[in-house]
Amino acid sequence: MDTLPRTPTTNAEGIGAAVPRKEDARFLVGRGRFVADIVFPGELHCALVRSPYAHARIKRIALKEARGVRGVVAVLTGADMAKDGLGPMRTLWPLRLADGKSLNEPPRWALARGTVRHVGEAVAAVFAEKRNAAADAAELVDVDYEPLPAVSESRAALAAGAPALHPEAPGNVCFRYSRGDPASVHTAFARAAHVTRIALVNHRIAGAAIEPRAVIGVPEPCGSGPELDGFTLYSATQVPHHVRKLVTEQLGIPEGAIRVVSPDVGGGFGYKGKHYPEETIVAWAARRLGRPVKWVASRNESFLSDTQARDHFTEAELALDSAGNFIGLRVETLANLGAYVSTVGAAIPSAIYSALLAGVYRTPAIHVAVTGVFTNTLPTDAYRGAGRPEACYVLERLADRAARELGLDRAEIRRRNLIPAAAMPYKTPIGPTYDSGDFPEIFGQALIASEYVSFAHRKRKSEARGTLRGIGLACYLESSGVAPSRLAGMMGARTGFFESAEIRVEPDGGLRAYLGTHNHGQGHATTFAQILSDRLGVPLAKIEIVEGDTAAVPYGTGTFGSRSIAVGGSALDRAAMKVIAKGKKIAAHLLEAGEGDIEFRAGRFRVAGTDRGLAFAEIARAAHTAHNLPDSLEPGLTESAFYDPANFAYSNGAHVCEVEVEAETGVVRVVRYTAMDDVGTVINPIIVEGQVHGGLAQGIGQALLERCVYEPGDSQLLSASFLDYAMPRADDLPNFGSGFDQRQPCTHNPLGAKGCGESGTIGAPAAVVSAVLDALAPLGVDDLEMPLTPERVWRAIQAARGHVIHSRHS
């Protein structure tokens, strides 16, 4: 399927232009520079000793043998960290609960002190001249553990008599969060003509980027403060400034005393947007040992130490009137946080998830209660979508089930309940106000593009071949561009959500722009350059974008929540306006005209109504020679801007998925997939399509294949390699049909852009499950839990046919 018509741009490289990505040539010839590629003379290699137990008391750690290995320089433990006075790792978003208090945050130490609470928790660190020597010595660290009972599932962790993880969190409860008006929900249910109920598991998944995490600490002076023993920390992170803040907090040194550099990063997917124990360990050791220290995760170690995601158990009920209108929604979710509160791990299933439970629907009364639960599993935190796929899944599964129960077409029940464009700006009963969007229009486009009306014909053809066929629908809403900082403060975040950009105009009119966002695959080098090319008329070849260095950019919040375009892009736009404003002053002076008479268009400052003008490069040169500037102006042409968005940018869309299911094997094949998205103004259609397609692959991966599995008895992670954790491959995916509609730009940012980085991941799980359940409906299967592996689907079919299957696995 072709994409929808693209908005023409006046600048062949500007906003809306389908230019190929600038950065790809460098990567294709192997000239990327990832953390593991960076080598410092005299560097030490760090290997970590990780707990094989999910819950155990550390009785003794014997280090002698490990210290005796040739090339080993030091073996350190949590006791050494305690002696050096290091603080605990702290969450960046401790929430603000109804009683005004924050969540229960038990201490989490970068190296365990006394007790381990998940498999893979770091217990000791070995530093050696060679990587192999460090790994060998780590094997020789002898830890005497006293195993304790463990629990991996949230319902089990809340049950009476469950193993207790932390004295600071009675009952294993981290927080109880609620939102919405229970009284109006109660009234809605009391007058409902029909109530649809559902219980869902949104299972746990892993990030699994191509590049495993890696950190290097280099003791070297940095900054100009009194802290001359500062250092540089290279980390494969999406959030250099957050890492700087959190690491310096633990070390008890000034925030500016360290520089954090995040060079090329081979995929982040949200889980690299966290602060990890290894960053603290490496930073501390590099200072303590006075040498560069490097840690690079193996794949197995990634599975054992990266944050995981989702892991919700939800019970929800939807009240409907006799016409099929949604009149009330009640949602209760248990969110499995793992063993500790990760950087934003508590905010994702509470503040972020709950805010989207109106979705694209006009439900007037909503109440949600979320309990954050500690278990003996890896901490959970953001992964592409982060709270929004979970919300979408609840709403779309409810919509499908309500349609079936009421005998309505699944498209029809959605049509009746979608918020109309005329209602914008639309204040939801759960908090957010949507500024723009035409949800019925996008949904209609998706139905047309997917040939929804002729599905029955395709179904008959599949059936003639002996194959089941189903079609699934999902409408989604995404709160991209997390904002504004004031709201984040009210919701208990220890950070703001603004962004900064600085533009340095070179004397020849070339540009270097410095942003606090981070690029780990999303094409910022191209799209941010397109914004500048559009605004300042400078060719892309003369524009360089710099991100990922706390010493270079004015300040930064980093990249997550599809915020880079809506927030970073807007900061860049503002800085460009300041460049133009100063350029106009210089041009007016040189052209002997009034400043108000100067206009700037297509890279030229002109006296309005005349052909007298100066090119952008000529103004840049004049600013840098300073031979003839107005007395009131400083030389140079460098401008910066901080941008704090007024609201989230509400991307939205509709997905339609078609599957074929083999009843005899349970194999599901996604045969058609249509995604229609409103991401506001599109900066680069090629990049947006790529983002949507990548997100779809991840969403379909969750729906069909991926799952972190813990052994129920002892909380061992059974899926700690790609042999056991199934990632989607090209032949698991169809040729996607994707399109976007730019007629509803974001109303409160200067670009009109809404984020697109997560949209595919948000709608896909719901659309795929909807399609498979549709295919299996004639067999009497009306519920399935993700991932829809052949075994699960086959078992469901057997059960529906009345066949009894005996096995402990599912």
Q: Which residue has its beta carbon closest to ligand MCN?
A: 757
Adjacent-strand bridge partners of 678? 652
The least distance separating ligand MCN from the CB of residue 6, rounded to whole angstroms, comes to 11
Q: Where are the alpha helices (DSSP H) in 191-239?
A: none
The piece of 166-174, 304-312, 515-523, 701-709 that touches ligand MCN (CB under 6 A) is: 515-523
CB-based contacts of 413: which residues, under 8 Å, 6+ apart?
324, 399, 402, 403, 406
**Residue of 240, 523, 583, 645 that binds ligand MCN (CB under 6 A):** 523
**Residue of 78, 217, 240, 268 that binds ligand MCN (CB under 6 A):** 268
Nearer to ligand MCN, 128 or 482 (CB): 482
**Residue of 76, 588, 687, 764 that binds ligand MCN (CB under 6 A):** 687
Does 230 contact ligand MCN by CB under 6 A? Answer: no
Does 212 contact ligand MCN by CB under 6 A? Answer: no
Would you give the DSSP letter of residue 106?
-
The least distance separating ligand MCN from the CB of residue 344, rounded to whole angstroms, comes to 12
CB-based contacts of 184: which residues, under 8 Å, 6+ apart?
328, 364, 365, 429
**Residue of 588, 679, 697, 773 that binds ligand MCN (CB under 6 A):** 679
Adjacent-strand bridge partners of 515? 501
Does 267 contact ligand MCN by CB under 6 A? Answer: yes
The piece of 40-48, 262-270, 407-415, 627-635 that touches ligand MCN (CB under 6 A) is: 262-270
Give the E-state strand segments of 481-626 in sequence order.
Answer: 499-505, 511-515, 543-546, 598-601, 604-607, 613-615
- What's the number of CA atoms in the CB half-sphere (13 Å) around residue 14? 16
Q: Would you say 797 and 665 are in contact if contact means Cβ atoms under 8 Å apart?
A: no
The least distance separating ligand MCN from the CB of residue 209, rounded to whole angstroms, comes to 6
**Residue of 402, 683, 773, 797 that binds ligand MCN (CB under 6 A):** 683
Give the E-state strand segments of 271-423 in sequence order.
Answer: 293-296, 308-320, 326-338, 366-374
The least distance separating ligand MCN from the CB of residue 530, rounded to whole angstroms, comes to 8
| Pairing, β 604-607 against β 598-601 | antiparallel
Nearer to ligand MCN, 397 or 754 (CB): 754
Element (H, E) at 676: strand 668-678
Residues 472-491: x where in contact with ligand MCN by CB under 6 A, - otherwise, as a string = --------x-----------
- Tell me which residue of 37, 21, 29 sits closest to 522, measured CA to CA: 21
Does 688 contact ligand MCN by CB under 6 A? Answer: yes
Sign of CA dihedral 161, 162, 167, 172: negative
**Residue of 684, 702, 719, 738 that binds ligand MCN (CB under 6 A):** 684
**Residue of 157, 756, 781, 788 that binds ligand MCN (CB under 6 A):** 756
**Residue of 240, 470, 755, 763 that binds ligand MCN (CB under 6 A):** 755
Q: Would you say 183 and 328 are in contact if contact means Cβ atoms under 8 Å apart?
A: no
Nearer to ligand MCN, 14 or 338 (CB): 14
Spatial distance between the Cα atoms of 109 and 87, rounded to a whole number of angstroms: 8
- What's the number of CA atoms in the CB half-sphere (13 Å) around residue 47? 22
Nearer to ligand MCN, 248 or 527 (CB): 527
The least distance separating ligand MCN from the CB of residue 578, rounded to whole angstroms, comes to 21
The least distance separating ligand MCN from the CB of residue 194, rounded to whole angstroms, comes to 37
Nearer to ligand MCN, 561 or 750 (CB): 561
Nearer to ligand MCN, 363 or 559 (CB): 559
Q: What is the DSSP string of 262-308?
A: --B-S--TTTTSS--HHHHHHHHHHHHHTS-EEEE--HHHHHHHS-E
Question: Can you read off the two tokens belonging to residue 468?
Answer: 């089941």
The footprint of ligand MCN on residues 530-569 (CB under 6 A) is 559-565
Nearer to ligand MCN, 301 or 758 (CB): 758
The least distance separating ligand MCN from the CB of residue 124, rounded to whole angstroms, comes to 31
Does 580 contact ligand MCN by CB under 6 A? Answer: no
Burial class from Cβ neighbours inside 10 Å (0-12, 13-18, 19+) for residue 507 reads middle
The least distance separating ligand MCN from the CB of residue 482, rounded to whole angstroms, comes to 10
Question: SS3 of 165, please?
Answer: coil
Nearer to ligand MCN, 462 or 651 (CB): 651
The least distance separating ligand MCN from the CB of residue 269, rounded to whole angstroms, comes to 4
Does 259 contact ligand MCN by CB under 6 A? Answer: no
Please state the φ and ψ torsions of residue 71, each to the nearest 5 degrees.
90, -5
Nearer to ligand MCN, 7 or 721 (CB): 7
CA angle 203, 206, 210 (to 5 degrees): 155
Does 758 contact ligand MCN by CB under 6 A? Answer: yes
Q: Would you say 45 and 724 are in contact if contact means Cβ atoms under 8 Å apart?
A: no
The least distance separating ligand MCN from the CB of residue 294, rounded to whole angstroms, comes to 22
The footprint of ligand MCN on residues 376-405 (CB under 6 A) is 384
**Residue of 35, 587, 753, 793 that binds ligand MCN (CB under 6 A):** 753
Residue 212 preceded by cis peptide, ω within 30: no
Would you give the DSSP letter of residue 177?
E
Query: Which residues make up the interface to ligand MCN (CB under 6 A)?
Result: 267-270, 384, 480, 520-524, 527, 559-565, 679-684, 687-688, 691, 694, 753-758
